[in-house]
Structure 1
């Protein structure tokens, strides 16, 4: 395949390359523990709103480029009620056709060619594409389990930190399940708010905090001077197929995203916005139910792993277990082994960075019967090693 020079610099998307591929499995029925989307249906209120919105003639015409007032007002109210954060509807909100678009486009709106961008390792695989498209320099932001997978910026060489103009953070973390504290966000904002460095916080798994509610980075004093937060309706509201999210925070970064989307996205379909408005109005009570569902799954999995001395990273939020591979396996070889011997599909840790080489990512987004079957098969593997 012939690509342009700039596309040749970008590695293939791991999930784009692997989703839907034919799998060679063992004799047992396949259990897919690699899917990173909640397994429950979208709320009835969202489906009803979508059905009504599709029939509305106004939604079959061009809409306002930067979003309906009703949707932006719902975002504004949701952030106020959930995080006590005030947002300006016109200057501090950017509606996104899926949060991945915002995460990949942000470097084009924030950095100049040659500027440095800190990417967490382990961290979400597609952050890198945006840096390369913007002709930036990507630097590793190392995350260690002994530090709770929270970065220590002093671990970054001084010359790289001086050239850094954008930092990616993601809590609850995909893939590690680590969470951030308000104190961490306060300290991070305080460190960078007088510099030219900006921060993007990927808040896709905001709903899932098992020991305490997950803080928004925008709750920290001065955060809007330095940070944007990208929120997804896919996970907390079971709306992954709708591809709706939004960015909120720093006015300059939001303005850049909006300007880019004026030329690329040309507004979101009104029916999607109406359905998303209905979701946000469900608010924290619905998200609490989601959190309790995944907390129960977390508790079940962790109890089995601890009882059998199977090593794993603490799972404090999100929907993924970060599981250490048995001795003699890296993530990719263990994925192959699980498929052939147990017909279990998980995700290797290697695509998430070098520090994921001896881990696999396991999704908890399956019903209880499949989760129980997975644990039985996993015990067969670990206890026979």
Structure 2
């Protein structure tokens, strides 16, 4: 097999390697708490629109490379309605075939070889691939529990920061379940707005904020001078298989992403855009229901762990709980122990950065029966702590 030197230096994707693989586990029925795909159905109104749109002759041909005006208007209206953010649908919106594509492509679009990119540690695993494909230099942006997993800009080495072109942020954070505040985004935008450093905020779990609604970075004054935000329909609307998302914000970064896309694909299937338009325009109530479902799951699951004093990070948003391993385990060895002893599958913390070495990530995207069963089996391991 022939592989380029560039591709060879990029680590295999953890979830690309493990998702869908056969799992060898102990004698109990498997409880899979590793996958971050919401377990509910897509709202019927979206499914019905998709079925109708597939049969529309205009959707059976190429559509405009940069998206239908109706879908872009729905994005603009959504951001105005939910965040009071004004967007120009032609210059400040880029439609994405899955947000991962945009997150991985972005460094190639806006970072030069040899420049620095700061990646949250812990944070989503596949940001690194985008940086390496752009021949840029990845640096760890340290996120610590004592600061609620928010970066402390004054603690970042100035030599690294001065040559940093792009910073990745993601709140609610995958994997820790921590959230950002409006004041943090205000401070961050103020810090970088007149520098060469741009920001991309991965807002994939935007719908899930349990104590308060998650802020958009674009709500901060001057944010569009330095930041874009990438929004996914996968999690909030149970549309992970549709692969629909978008980037909004800084017009120069948006223009670069759009130019890149004209060379990599010929526009999103029109029926998907129509389904996405229906989601954004007509399903606000469903987002509220999703949040309530996961808030209840979070509350019950945390209560079960607290009852037996198993340590974890408080889950303020998203769909994952970040749990410490027992003292004699690291994340990878504890994953194997859980599989063999309790037939529970979770994700090790280390793929999310070396700050995750002694953690595992637990998904709450399971029905109540499996969640309760998983919690009960974990309670039986309290003696390990």
Q: TM-score, normalised by structure 1?
A: 0.99
Kindly state the Cα deviation for residue 283 of structure 1 after the two structures are TM-superposed. 4.2
Aligned-partner SS, 2:154: helix
**Worse overlay, 6-15 or 249-258:** 6-15
Return the offset for 1:282: 2.5
Contact 2:325 2:334 in 1 (8 A): yes
Contact persistence 1:82–1:284 (CA under 8 A): no
Query: How far, CA to CA, are the matches of 1:218 and 1:117 in structure 2?
Result: 20
1:234 is aligned to: 234
* Structure 2 match to 1:180: 180
Distance across 1 between alignment mates of 2:350 and 2:132? 19
Deviation per CA, 1:222-250: give whole Å up to 9, x if none. Answer: 00000000000000000000000000000
Partner of residue 253, structure 1: 253
Counterpart of 2:47 in structure 1 is 47
Q: Is the 8 A contact 1:298 1:364 kept in 2?
A: yes
> Partners in 2 of 1:212 and 1:65 — Cα distance?
37
Task: For structure 2, list consecutive stretches of 5 or more residues without a partner in the other structure.
Answer: none
* CA shift digits 1:99-142 (9 cap, x unpaired): 00000000011111111000000010000001001110111100
1:243 partnered with 2:243: yes
Alpha-carbon distance in 2 for matches of 1:179, 1:65: 34
Aligned to 1:223: 223
For 2:289 and 2:40, locate their aligned partners in 1 and report how far apart those are by CA, in whole Å. 12
Counterpart of 1:63?
63
Is the CA contact (8 Å cut-off) linking 1:76 and 1:88 kept in structure 2? Answer: yes
Contact in 2 for aligned 1:141/1:153 (Cα 8 Å):
no
Matching residue of 1:109: 109
C-alpha contact (below 8 Å) 1:11/1:129 kept by paired residues = yes
Distance 1:274 1:381, change over 3 A: same
Q: How many residues align?
A: 385
CA displacement 1:167-221 (0-9 Å, x = unmatched):
0000000000000000000000000001000000000000000000000000000
Matches within 5 A, 1:135-284: 135-284=135-284
Q: Which residue of 2 aligns with 1:15?
A: 15
The separation in 2 between residues aligned to 1:205 and 1:362, in whole angstroms, is 15
**Offset at residue 154 of structure 1 (A):** 1.9
| Structure 1: stretches of 5+ with no match in the other structure | none
* SS class of match (1:328): coil
Which residue of structure 2 aligns with residue 128 of structure 1?
Answer: 128
Q: What is the CA-CA distance between 1:152 and the residue it aligns to?
A: 0.5
Give the secondary-structure state (helix, strand or coil) at the position aligned to 2:260.
helix
CA distance in 1, matches of 2:343, 2:384: 17
User: How big is the shift at 1:344?
Assistant: 0.5
For 2:123 and 2:116, locate their aligned partners in 1 and report how far apart those are by CA, in whole Å: 17
SS in 1 for 2:380: helix
Residue 313 of structure 1: aligned partner? 313
Shift of 1:18: 0.6
**TM-score, normalising length from structure 2?**
0.99
Q: Which moved more, 1:152-161 or 1:120-129?
A: 152-161
Contact 2:169–2:199 under 8 Å retained in 1: yes
Deviations 1:135-174 (A, max 9, x none): 1011110000000000012222111011101000000000
The aligned counterpart of 1:360 is 360
| 3-state SS, counterpart of residue 323 of structure 2 | strand
| Residue in structure 1 matched with residue 287 of structure 2 by the alignment | 287
Equivalent-residue separation in structure 2 for 1:224 and 1:12 (angstroms): 34
Q: Distance in 2 between matches of 1:2 and 1:176?
A: 38
Q: Quote the residue 1:85 is aligned against.
A: 85
SS in structure 1 opposite 2:206? coil
* Counterpart-to-counterpart distance in 1, 2:148 and 2:76: 32
